[in-house]
Amino acid sequence: MPTPVFTHLIGFAAMIAVFVALSLYAFTTVDVMNRRNMENVLSAVSSLLAGSLRNLLVSGANGSLLTLNLPVEVYYGAGYNVYIGNGSVLAQYFPAIRQRADYDPAALYVVAAAADNKVWSASLVLKPADLQGRQVMVATGSWVYNATRVGFDPNTGYAESGVPWLCREALYVRENSGLNLTNYPVRVVFNPSNLSCTYGLLNFTPTPNDLRFADSDGVTPLRYWIEYWNSTSAVVWVQVPYLEARSNKTIFMYWGAPLATSRSDPGVFPMFYNFSAADQQAVQSAWGVLPVNATSWSISQYNLSGLLGVAVNATFPGKTSPTLLTLFYKTPLTLSPSGQGLIVEGYGAPLTLNDQDWRLALYNITGGLQWFGLQFIPPVIDPFANLSNYTVIYGNWSIVSSDSETLLNAYNYSNIKISGSNYWAAAIVRWNPPPNAPRGQEEYQILFKVLVKPDGVLRGLVVAQDTNLSKSLFVAVNSSGEDLELWRGDLEKANSWDMVDSAKPPGFDRPHWVFIYVDILGPGKSNHVTVRVYDAETGRTLLSYSRQGESIPSDPNYVGAVAVSPYSDYTPENSLYDDLVSARYDSSQQTVDLTAITFEGLPAGWSVTLFSDDLTYSAVANESGVAVVDVSLNPVLGVTTPVYITVYDDQGYIVTTFVLNQTISGGTVFRFLPQLTEPAQQYGAAIHASGQPAQGGNNPQYTVVFKNLSLEGWWNTNVPVNVSSLALAGVAYFNSTAYYVVYNTTAYYRDSSYSYLYLNSTYYGYADTGLVVIGTANGNNNNLKTVPTSGFYYYVRARPFVYPEPSVYFGPVESASPPSVPVISYSLRPVVVFGSKLLVDVALVVTPTGDEVVVVMVKGARSS
């Protein structure tokens, strides 16, 4: 038997063997557990990634991207690798993959494997049958950015409602006159077909719809107006906010927005009048008409070469001189800022070549100076400040205010049985005649403004000789909403009431103001009564009645407002009356005519024109210097517009103008007092088409007429003119010098240059305001003749003018350049391998042939 020591040693060895066996068992158990955990992790990784790649490839969405977020720390933090490739390549790394039931050498797999490849897991992505003839490849790659931009950034250019314009061209505007210019319209001429830009695969040229202009910042929009446009020629006016003297300014012209609509706006001009949609009433709302020695005239629409405009026709008596018909724009143009000139231009053509057929003129008048002072004596008496002057006969009355007017209001009616059951309101006021007024054969005129409502109530006025209303004349208007009726009779004898006129005018289905005018003369054989009802909004006569030999008040000392209702119901402000106008005599004991306005103190042969409420009135002064203007069509002026008064001399030149911002009525007397101010010389220039050139010759042409302080002259332009030959022509003032222009009489905008011609004439002073005039002088007719005197007008405009005008130079055309878009650069590989500790994107690239490439792009390492 062994010795004890040896035995001990053997026992120790046995113990070591047991310990080693136990240790190996423990390590084997831990290793098996870790391998199982690793297999689970790797199986999950390969399966999830294979599923994601499968979805990516099936979608076929070029540029689709997967950002991988893989688990990292397993198996003592050793990590793992991911292999992507087909079966035949992966079998070189993992031979056991051939034993899979789904193994196919051409199929695409994902393998997640430990660093030593001893533990791995494979998942199928797609088999060849799933690819439908496409080939799937794998590659490594990266994002590539193009940092070079060609063109402008559309995100910082012009846009509307978030939609960018894709093309632009820089315009360099040069100021040439030496003045700082404000809001100056600059003329831009270009050929649209020569301007082209490309964005993407699309090509854009300018159109009238998508044309825009922007200030120097490329963003702030500028107003513009397209004067002319075809495929090879365009003329556009752009309003530039500020041009510094003799300096350059950059603005931009944009296009390239196919869905845009035009924003062309003639408002770039201080004055622009388009006659294409204007009838006589519309023209007269903006233009005053002065017919001198014309028995009649009319404004009519006219079509010339496809353009719709107007022509003025007039009838002139034979062998009478001068025979004039002039239209003047009623709003004088203020030249602002000081120093800039003014040009007026018109597009049209002569329709005949009688003396001066087509004419355009600019008369300059110096503000603050005038030929005459003006004094007017109104007959208007408004007693409605309080009720103390009135005797209330029936009902309840009060004074109310509306729109700065004082109104007499019948707010309750009395129940008076005159004929049946009627409800009345009446208030009258006494008008004392002037001292030593003649008795009998008195003419009395009154004018009431009455608010008519479609409620069946008679509203009007009464004239009586006492407060008992004896021998009264009752005149009233009734509206049912459809019919408007005029009634008259003795107020307290209802059986004497007669409806003497009726009409169906529009607008009376709502409350509507009318004027009621009454003129009575009596008693005696020559007595008469005349009644007219005018629309207070338009001035048109609605109803009328006239009769002689009628029983009327012999001494009409009282006048007042009356309302008669068949029912007692009322509402606040039930019956309103305003602007009572009443007159018998003037200070000279002469009867005042409320249907006429008189002008005194004019030289014989001079004429005067009034314009108000879209109506024009004219008269010529007689040998006594008195001009009587008939306003019977509308005896109250200044209701909706100011009253414009223009005075002409015997040659038809404008002498002075006045504007009254108040209401006046017939019966007003205007007196011209030349001693009030020093006369200011009127001057101007005109251009007209004439068959009789000023300096002789047989060829019809445009002639320029000018007038200054000391002389009047004519020049031939040597520009021929034919009947119905359209042209753009005008005259201008700048720096005390007159200019004229005649442009393209045969082909509109055939070239790109204006032909400004200097008149070689220095004019007196500088104009503060300009008056635009169109029309003609059409004399030498042997018989009464109706002719189209004014020529044809399509539009007339006025704008600031300096000479030389600003010039425009064109820069390069720019296309919008889209923001830099990254592209994928890749290299094909048999297999792609990456570690779990890397940040990775996987992208799909579809080749032009339809094949697909799985591109793995490493972005960097994960942070530990």
Q: How many separate helices (H) and strands (E) can be counted in the chain?
A: 3, 62
Tell me, rounded to whole angstroms, the distance of Cα 105 from its chain centroid: 74
The reported pLDDT for the residue numbered 777 is 43
Over residues 143-154, the mean pLDDT reads 70
The reported pLDDT for the residue numbered 714 is 76
Which secondary-structure segment (H or E) carries 324? Answer: strand 324-329
Reply yes or no on whether the pLDDT at 774 is more than 80.
no
The reported pLDDT for the residue numbered 361 is 80
The reported pLDDT for the residue numbered 591 is 64
The larger pLDDT score, comparing residue 681 to residue 656, is at 656
Question: From edge to edge, which strands make up the β-sheet containing 541-548?
Answer: 396-402, 405-412, 575-583, 442-452, 512-522, 528-535, 541-548
SS3 669: strand
How many Cβ atoms from other residues are within 10 Å of residue 358's Cβ?
30
Mean pLDDT of the chain: 77
pLDDT tens sequence across 403-458: 667 788 888 888 776 655 577 777 777 665 555 555 555 667 788 888 888 888 88
pLDDT tens sequence across 507-554: 888 888 888 888 877 655 557 788 888 887 776 788 988 887 666 666
Pairing of strands 615-620, 607-612: antiparallel
Instruction: Give φ, ψ of 570 to 5 degrees.
Output: -150, 165
pLDDT tens sequence across 665-674: 888 888 776 5
Reply yes or no on whether the pLDDT at 321 is more than 50.
yes
* Count of residues making up the chain: 864
The Cα 820–Cα 810 span in angstroms is 28
Choice among 220-224, 438-442, 598-602, 832-836 with the minimum mean pLDDT: 438-442
Reply yes or no on whether the pLDDT at 789 is more than 60.
no
Tokens of 219: 């963003």
The Cα 310–Cα 278 span in angstroms is 7
Over residues 734-742, the mean pLDDT reads 80
In single-letter form, the type of residue at position 440 comes to G
The Cα 723–Cα 86 span in angstroms is 88
Reply yes or no on whether the pLDDT at 72 is more than 80.
no
Reply yes or no on whether the pLDDT at 680 is more than 90.
no
The dihedral sign for the CA sequence 110, 114, 117, 119: negative
Question: From edge to edge, which strands make up the β-sheet containing 607-612?
Answer: 615-620, 607-612, 643-648, 654-660
**470 close to 482: Cβ distance less than 8 angstroms:** no
SS3 162: coil
Reply yes or no on whether the pLDDT at 676 is more than 90.
no
The reported pLDDT for the residue numbered 760 is 42
Reply yes or no on whether the pLDDT at 169 is more than 70.
yes
CA-angle at 183, arms to 268 and 239, nearest 5°: 45
The larger pLDDT score, comparing residue 682 to residue 459, is at 459
Cis amide prior to 322 (ω within 30 degrees): yes
